[in-house]
Chains A and B, each alone.
Chain A
Amino acid sequence: MLRIPVVRWGKPYESLETQKVVHFLTGEPIAEVDQANGAMVSRDLRKADQARKILRSIPVDELIARIKQAGNLFATATLPLGNGTQTPDQFVHQQSATTGLPEQMCRNNMTKNSFVMEKIDTILDALTRGLDLNILARGYGTESRGIVVSYQSQAPVLGAVLPSNSPGVHTLWIPVIALQLGLVLKPGSQEPWTAYRVASAFQAAGIPGEVFSLYPGGHDVGGAILSGCRRAMIFGGEKTIQQYAGNPKVQVHGPGYTKILLGDDKVDQWEQYLDMMVESIYINGGRSCINASSVWASRHTEEIAAALAERLGPIEAKDPSDPSAGLAAFTVEGTGKAIYEMLQNDLKEEGVTDCTAAYGPRLVERERCSYLRPMIAHANSPKCAIATKEFMFPFATVVKCPQEKMIDSIGYTLVGSAITDNTAWIDELGCATNIDRLNIGPIATNRLNWLQPHEGNLTEFLFKSRAYQIADTKLVQA
């Protein structure tokens, strides 16, 4: 069987404890993953400075070239993995088999990750707003306008506690190597695949293994990464967000509560935007934080909800290898049922209508997993609890709300796509601090322009802009 070791600064380590990752439908073991322990992470982190030193010794241009090559290898090459190798097709099958995601979604996510590596120079240009990367590497430098600027790295490595159920999120940490910081990762228990393949592709492209550590393991491993790394990211639910709120060392990625807002000037033409709404709710199995979980409008909301239900309601759970499969399985026992029951409770509230009820049962239970078929609800007021709910399947509430009350009612919104030409409202939306990424116009919420910084800009998280003065004589030498 494929055995995937712990990786400690590039060196494989076989643990006495292993965990089998199994096929979500059959229970057949796919791989045996060695498990680290928290003390190992804490001890290894004392050598984290070495990772940054190694990466800083590689010229930025050279590093970028190697990362681009890694992007190509990630998508096309047979790469070493534990005691075996992995082709791109095997990667897709394995990821689908252990996460319950349809293979076509795994393939799309693979393309997305590869894209970020292959376009790393352009993406970093956007993330840094055009800063010469040598300034980040050196710590200071002179901008084109002749002013000395300095960006100080706040940590030698980025730690990341990765999720098991969203292979799309890896684009958030992949650029870190290009910024010359090492990576300390805890791969998701059901999805070790991406982290290991990225590290393998990087190494195949000539990036030293000593800058990566991969620690599959339990909660103590996650805790050790978050407490031991001066900069770390974690993916989790609302509770995780609250736990790390205000902690400058930890960037939390959780529910997005992404929304589509229809302005009064456009809502009468809502049918024109139906495709965009369906895509925003349904793409990637509704699993991303950038999937829309609600559509807000002041009128026609019943018709919009009915039209969305008509498009999404008939979608069936299909075999993961079926190219038309669009729903991801819940692979943890009881999860699908628990979400379904939670929703049934919300649907009972006065003013809420279950718009997909006519399209057959939503909960599909299989022997070892469950699916939730798309659900659309209508809420006649933002006060209904369901108006601000988000779940990890294609689910959305169409909320009736006057335009002038919308910004105050929507709450936190990772991606807000506002369909309007109303300049006054556009200005208000631009000032709304509860909206992170703002799209003006009928832009599907999932269509991220990679040249725009994503939630929690990585460079701002990892580097601090600071004053740096150099005597004139030194400046000439610099």
Chain B
Amino acid sequence: MTTGTTSLAEAVAAAKKRLDQHTYETVQWHFHPSTGSPFWVSKAQELSFDPLTEVREFEDLKKFPSFEDEWLRGGPIERWRPKGLDGKPTFVFETGGTTGIPKSRMVVEDHRTDYELFSETLPDKYFPRGTNWLMLGPSGPRRLRLAVEHLCQFRGGICFCIDLDPRWVIKLIKKGWMEHLEEYKKHCIEQALTILSANHNIKCMFATPKLLEGLCNALEERGQSFADTGITGIFSGGTEFTPQWTRFCIEEFFGGPPEVSGIYMTPTYGNTLMGLACSKPVSAADGYKISYYAPQPRAVTEVVDFDDTNRSVGYGETGRVKLTTLTKEFFVPGFLERDEGEREAPFETYPWDGVSGVRPFHRLASSTTVGVY
């Protein structure tokens, strides 16, 4: 009778089986001396268990201590490269680094794979293939910049970028140089306006929430609206991407929902360690609720108890976001993000757990500086 429920349950079970198998293979790859990275092969010596024989499924990852992102600071970067990938062209992407040594992640092609998977979630109607993109986000040694450019190219377009140094933005905020911050934001927006005015057939964009606001405001100050740019598809991301912010943009900057305004915006959630999680479609009927689902089995998001971080909270309950990355390039067994949110149930498109209401973790919120992304 309840075929929908049964088929969802079956899909959830199949996804779990796939995740368990993928976990086993990933751990074997990263810890076997013939394929693993120097970091994890060496780390295995410190562990109280043997990952090669004692990790059979996803649940077994709880045997690992929490992943400390501090391990990513400093070199040599090669210690993170699995031996099985020796000789492949390698990127390094950085996060942080406003002061001191940034955290580094080596990547061969994870960013491309992640964004190719993400591409499948974008509606062609609003993100027309073959059209060009604007990347209104950070430049420099950032995964996001190359990933967006690849996404655009994968969809047959050419990506225009701006110069934006997020480390300088964070410095301006920390110094309290708010006028300089405003001027820098204007500088970024002016670059975007210049590109958009140059007849490049740009239909899609990535923008951080703050820069998207800035762009919309700048256009309105010129007596134009966002619709005048011709852009119909936007993806954005971050903890500032709240239901209220989404509603405000849709109602006031875009002129209505996609079917009215012709402008579609989708949120994403992620970071350099994990990649990106996609959102369930956001609608007024659902209170603009934003629920993210990781690209399982390559990455997993869990919502865990604030104090017992190996215990998932109940559906709808609040907890800290825990990320796990399971690719051939990078293994992160349970990293506690600086965010919290509510645990969301699986559904047909994503038959695994999601997270909604993502916001800065309340116990760390006061020390978090939100810059431009």
Task: Mark A residues whose CB is within 8 Å of B.
Answer: 15-17, 35, 37-40, 42-43, 46, 220, 223, 226-227, 239, 242-243, 247
- B221-273 residues with Cβ-Cβ distance < 8 A to A are 221, 240, 242-245, 247-249, 252-253
Q: Is B307 an interface residue (CB 8 A)?
A: no
B176 touches A243 (CB 8 A): yes
Give the docked Cα–Cα distance between A227 and B173 (Å). Answer: 13
Give the docked Cα–Cα distance between A220 and B247 (Å). Answer: 17
B176 touches A42 (CB 8 A): no
Give the docked Cα–Cα distance between A38 and B212 (Å). Answer: 12
A243 touches B178 (CB 8 A): yes
Give the docked Cα–Cα distance between A229 and B277 (Å). Answer: 38
Contacts of B287 in A (CB 8 A): 16
Q: Is B179 an interface residue (CB 8 A)?
A: yes
Contacts of B176 in A (CB 8 A): 239, 242-243
A17 touches B244 (CB 8 A): yes
Q: Nearest chain A CB to B285's CB is how many angstroms away?
A: 13
Contacts of A243 in B (CB 8 A): 176, 178
Contacts of A39 in B (CB 8 A): 213, 216-217, 245, 248-249, 253
- B167-182 residues with Cβ-Cβ distance < 8 A to A are 176, 178-179, 182
B213 touches A42 (CB 8 A): yes
Name the residue of chain A whose CB is nearest to the CB of B182: A227
Q: Which one of B179, B216, B220, B247 lies within 8 Å of A247 (CB-CB)? A: B179
Q: What are 11 contact pairs spanning A and B, CB under 8 A?
A: A15-B244, A16-B242, A17-B244, A39-B216, A40-B248, A42-B213, A43-B216, A46-B220, A223-B178, A227-B179, A247-B179
Name the residue of chain B whose CB is nearest to the CB of A223: B178
A37 touches B244 (CB 8 A): yes
Q: Nearest chain A CB to B278's CB is how many angstroms away?
A: 21
Q: Which one of B182, B216, B240, B243 lies within 8 Å of A16 (CB-CB)? A: B243
Name the residue of chain B whose CB is nearest to the CB of A243: B176
Q: Is B288 an interface residue (CB 8 A)?
A: yes
Name the residue of chain A whose CB is nearest to the CB of B179: A247
Contacts of B178 in A (CB 8 A): 223, 226-227, 243
Name the residue of chain A whose CB is nearest to the CB of B252: A43
B182 touches A38 (CB 8 A): no
Contacts of B243 in A (CB 8 A): 16-17
Give the docked Cα–Cα distance between A239 and B242 (Å). Answer: 29
Report the tally of A-B residue pairs with Cβ distances under 8 A. 45
Total number of B residues with any Cβ neighbor in A under 8 Å: 21
Give the docked Cα–Cα distance between A39 and B214 (Å). Answer: 8
Contacts of A220 in B (CB 8 A): 240
Give the docked Cα–Cα distance between A247 and B253 (Å). Answer: 31
Contacts of B288 in A (CB 8 A): 16
Contacts of A223 in B (CB 8 A): 178
Give the docked Cα–Cα distance between A16 and B221 (Å). Answer: 26
Give the docked Cα–Cα distance between A38 and B249 (Å). Answer: 12
Q: Nearest chain A CB to B138's CB is how many angstroms away?
A: 19
Q: Nearest chain A CB to B219's CB is how many angstroms away?
A: 11
Name the residue of chain B whose CB is nearest to the CB of A42: B217
Give the docked Cα–Cα distance between A220 and B248 (Å). Answer: 15
- B9-33 residues with Cβ-Cβ distance < 8 A to A are none
Give the docked Cα–Cα distance between A220 and B288 (Å). Answer: 20
Give the docked Cα–Cα distance between A220 and B370 (Å). Answer: 10
Give the docked Cα–Cα distance between A53 and B283 (Å). Answer: 38
Q: Which one of A16, A42, A43 lies within 8 Å of B244 (CB-CB)? A: A16
Known A-B contacts A223-B178, A247-B179; the reply to A35 vs B217 at CB < 8 A is: no
Q: Nearest chain A CB to B116's CB is how many angstroms away?
A: 32
B244 touches A46 (CB 8 A): no
Name the residue of chain A whose CB is nearest to the CB of B247: A16
Give the docked Cα–Cα distance between A42 and B214 (Å). Answer: 9
Give the docked Cα–Cα distance between A20 and B94 (Å). Answer: 39
Contacts of A43 in B (CB 8 A): 216-217, 220, 252-253
Name the residue of chain B whose CB is nearest to the CB of A17: B244
Q: Nearest chain A CB to B344's CB is how many angstroms away?
A: 17
Contacts of B240 in A (CB 8 A): 220
Give the docked Cα–Cα distance between A226 and B242 (Å). Answer: 23
Give the docked Cα–Cα distance between A17 and B220 (Å). Answer: 25
Give the docked Cα–Cα distance between A38 and B182 (Å). Answer: 13
Give the docked Cα–Cα distance between A226 and B182 (Å). Answer: 11
Contacts of A239 in B (CB 8 A): 176
The 6 closest A-B pairs by CB, nearest first: A243-B176, A39-B213, A16-B244, A17-B244, A16-B243, A227-B182
Contacts beyond the supplied A15-B244, A39-B253, A46-B220: 12 A-B pairs with Cβ under 8 Å: A16-B242, A16-B287, A17-B242, A17-B244, A35-B244, A37-B242, A37-B244, A38-B213, A39-B213, A39-B217, A43-B220, A243-B176
Q: Nearest chain A CB to B162's CB is how many angstroms away?
A: 20
Name the residue of chain B whose CB is nearest to the CB of A45: B217
Give the docked Cα–Cα distance between A239 and B179 (Å). Answer: 16
Give the docked Cα–Cα distance between A247 and B242 (Å). Answer: 32
Give the docked Cα–Cα distance between A243 and B172 (Å). Answer: 11
Contacts of A40 in B (CB 8 A): 248, 252
Give the docked Cα–Cα distance between A256 and B243 (Å). Answer: 41
Interface centre among A35, A40, A43 (most CB of B within 10 A): A43
Write the B179-220 contact mask toward A (1 if CB under 8 angstroms, else 0).
Answer: 100100000000000000000000000000000010011001
Q: Nearest chain B CB to A59's CB is how many angstroms away?
A: 33
A37 touches B248 (CB 8 A): yes
Name the residue of chain A whose CB is nearest to the CB of B176: A243
Give the docked Cα–Cα distance between A239 and B178 (Å). Answer: 13
Q: Nearest chain A CB to B371's CB is how many angstroms away?
A: 12
Give the docked Cα–Cα distance between A40 and B246 (Å). Answer: 12
